[in-house]
Structure 1
């Protein structure tokens, strides 16, 4: 694609003043870099991914409010993590982190364990227990 033809379609990235670097051919027929704010197919895929993330966060929040899971799962989704990433950040086996999703288990966790989660999520233990970050 020629440098003058690099698409500049509207996208979520544009509002964050983010531009992507891509390769294009300049006037001399040589490869060079060009900035783009996005193009429609990529924008559609990005919008779908963001919508999916928001839905997962909302679903986790509802499960916490219905006492079906602990706030740990909500904050994991809110911070766009998955189980392996969260487990590695808190230094706890994945099966134990998953077990901490159970409300009965969560309420029995020591402050030492809760502090590990709070540190990863950059909140206080009180916020972790009371889901005060829920939007």
Structure 2
């Protein structure tokens, strides 16, 4: 893309007076950098992604409130993690973390394991046990 044609559409960065650094070609065809306030297709895609993340968070919260899964699932979604990432942060096997998604198993977790999850999510153990405070 030519430097003069770098999009300057209204985007997510416009609201905070920020600009994104992008690569473009100058008048000699050499690569250079340019600033962009946004590009409508990128803004739409980002907005759709954020909407999907918010839906997943709401679904996880509802499942916790219905007693279908443990609060670990909710905080995993809030922190934009998946099972593999969460398992690596808490230093446990994926199958073990997945087992902790079951409310009956979660209720029996030791304070040390609960603290590992709380530290990973940067919350207190009390908040981990009760998502209504979140």
Deviation at 1:16, TM superposition (A): 4.7
Deviation at 1:38, TM superposition (A): 2.2
- The corresponding residue for 1:101 is 101
Which segment drifts farther, 31-40 or 49-58?
Answer: 31-40
Q: In 2 relative to 1, CA 121–104 (structure 1 residues): closer, same or farther, beyond 3 Å?
A: same
Q: When the two structures are superposed, what TM-score results if normalisation uses the length of structure 2?
A: 0.92
Inter-partner Cα distance in structure 2 for 1:88 and 1:56: 21
What CA RMSD, in Å, does the superposition of the two structures yield over aligned residues?
1.4
Inter-partner Cα distance in structure 2 for 1:123 and 1:80: 15
The DSSP-based 3-state class of the residue aligned with 2:24 is: strand
Unpaired runs of at least 5, structure 2: none
Inter-partner Cα distance in structure 2 for 1:14 and 1:111: 45
Which segment drifts farther, 3-12 or 62-71?
Answer: 3-12
Q: When the two structures are superposed, what TM-score results if normalisation uses the length of structure 1?
A: 0.91
Inter-partner Cα distance in structure 2 for 1:17 and 1:95: 45
* 2:15 paired with 1:15: yes
Unpaired runs of at least 5, structure 1: none
Count of matched residue positions in the alignment of Structure 1 and Structure 2: 133
Deviation at 1:14, TM superposition (A): 3.5
Q: In 2 relative to 1, CA 121–42 (structure 1 residues): closer, same or farther, beyond 3 Å?
A: same
Deviation at 1:22, TM superposition (A): 1.5
Inter-partner Cα distance in structure 1 for 2:87 and 2:110: 17
Runs of 4+ in 1 over 3 A off after TM superposition: 13-19
Q: How does 1:23-38 map to 2 (within 5 A)?
A: 23-38=23-38
Inter-partner Cα distance in structure 1 for 2:23 and 2:10: 19
